[in-house]
Structure 1
Amino acid sequence: SLILMSMGNLYGDMGRWDKAIGHFKNSLLISEELNNLKRKASTLKGIGLACLFKGDTSTGYSYLNESIDICKKIKSLDVYAMALNNIGIYYDMLGRWKKAIEAYKESLSIAKKIKNIIVISNIMNNIGFAYSSLGESKHAIYYLKESVKIADKIGDIYNKGINYIHLGEEYLKKDEFKEVKYYISRAEKIFDELDDKLGLADIYRLKAKLLKKLKRWEDSEIFFKKAITIY
């Protein structure tokens, strides 16, 4: 059951949602046979998230709620926090950002109780993105910076770089160009070291947007083209 669930997570990381769901469902059958409720809740959470990313949001939502019901019954706070975070992702996908923030904040309070620092960082990220979607830059910046602090503490360089890009985007909305340049340079250093082409493409796109606002049209075009060749 655990191996099948790990395989499901692996296929999920690769974006192969049907394969992920297949492995999760096989894991679910074994968890039910063994009456391992925590494993069942965790597997249902995995199926729910895979369904969301596959585009089957209503099915994903059903699986996540089933996971939450079990978590409440057996008081499995770690799985509960992650399932609630995924409910937030569901509302995010529907553009219901206030509902998403409610779910994320409930998830965050549980993750803080059990001191799950990795989950806390991910949730802070998600809250920041949701506030950004609502156009509430002040709140978005606060949560993104909190996520950066945790990413720094746990050595999560990749997510630190991603958050730097999003902070740059938020400051660009406010026309705070000095801050934008600061976060671009920090992010670029990280993605250069990681040799992450998609991360660099996001930076080039942000540079192009900044240069456009500064009316440096030709330079802006150069960076848009650099981003497009990678995308």
Structure 2
Amino acid sequence: DRASQASTHGNLAVAYQALGAHDRALQHYQNHLNIARELRDIQSEARALSNLGNFHCTRGEFVQAAPYYEQYLRLSPELQDMEGEGKVCHNLGYAHYCLGNYEEAVKYYEQDLALAKDLHDKLSQAKAYCNLGLAFKALMDFNKAEECQKYLLSLAQSLNN
């Protein structure tokens, strides 16, 4: 059935990526996305979008990664997966940070932080504060950068990390 085909394409993409066969991996990630959309399977589509974003991010192709993450976030109200949404916000913030789009990075890191707080996930909060601090530092907003690092330190101490 088509749903199994979509899943298989996703699994093959991961395998080909691990083997360094990037063109074949990309083809299978795209096939996964196309079938998920054909089936109107929002969960599978979101997985494919996140995987495509991650694929491009790991290759340093941040311009190509961002639209996949943005499409995922447009689906997120239907997904009701705050943890997944937080990860995508983190990844999109990272992509923008690497591209020098620090204001955009802050926007997505702040969304990641808000979701981590809603989930009471202290480790994700700490990571978000760390990333926010770096983005604010890049924007030369040293007061906000310091504030973020203080929150990070407090959370790290509470996690004994």
Please indicate the TM-score interval, normalised by the length of the shorter structure. Answer: 0.7 to 0.9
Number of positions where the alignment pairs a residue of Structure 1 with one of Structure 2: 161
TM-score normalized with structure 2 length = 0.85
Q: Which stretch shows the higher mean deviation, 72-81 or 55-64?
A: 55-64
Residues 91-130 of structure 1 correspond to what in structure 2 (within 5 A)? 91-130=56-95
Distance 2:18 2:131 in 1: 21
Name the counterpart of 1:199.
none
TM-score normalized with structure 1 length = 0.62
Q: Does 1:77 align with 2:42?
A: yes
Structure 1: state its 5+ residue gaps: 1-34, 197-231
Per-residue CA deviations over 1:152-203 (Å, capped at 9, x if unaligned) read: 101222221111111111111122222222111211222233333xxxxxxx
Larger Rg: 1
Specify whether residues 103 and 183 from structure 1 end up closer, same or farther in structure 2 by C-alpha distance, changes over 3 A only. same
Alignment partner of 1:144 out of 109, 113, 121: 109
Distance 1:193 1:54 in 2: 40
Query: What is the Cα deviation at residue 50 of structure 1?
Result: 5.7
Distance 2:104 2:122 in 1: 23
User: What amino acid maps onto 1:71 in structure 2?
Assistant: A
Contact 1:97–1:131 (CA<8 Å) still a contact in 2? yes
Per-residue CA deviations over 1:96-131 (Å, capped at 9, x if unaligned) read: 322211111111112223333222211111111111
Query: What is the Cα deviation at residue 48 of structure 1?
Result: 2.8
Query: What is the Cα deviation at residue 146 of structure 1?
Result: 0.8
Residues 1-231 of structure 1 correspond to what in structure 2 (within 5 A)? 35=1, 37-38=2-3, 40-42=5-7, 44-49=9-14, 51-52=16-17, 55-196=20-161
Specify whether residues 159 and 38 from structure 1 end up closer, same or farther in structure 2 by C-alpha distance, changes over 3 A only. farther
Specify whether residues 55 and 148 from structure 1 end up closer, same or farther in structure 2 by C-alpha distance, changes over 3 A only. farther
Distance 2:20 2:158 in 1: 34
Specify whether residues 95 and 156 from structure 1 end up closer, same or farther in structure 2 by C-alpha distance, changes over 3 A only. same
Query: What is the Cα deviation at residue 75 of structure 1?
Result: 1.8
Distance 2:19 2:154 in 1: 33
Give the number of the structure with larger relative contact order, counting CA–CA contacts within 8 Å between residues 6 or more apart: 2
Distance 1:47 1:185 in 2: 43
Specify whether residues 39 and 190 from structure 1 end up closer, same or farther in structure 2 by C-alpha distance, changes over 3 A only. farther
Q: Could you tell me the percent identity over the aligned residues? A: 18
Contact 1:41–1:70 (CA<8 Å) still a contact in 2? yes
Give me the CA root mean square deviation: 2.2
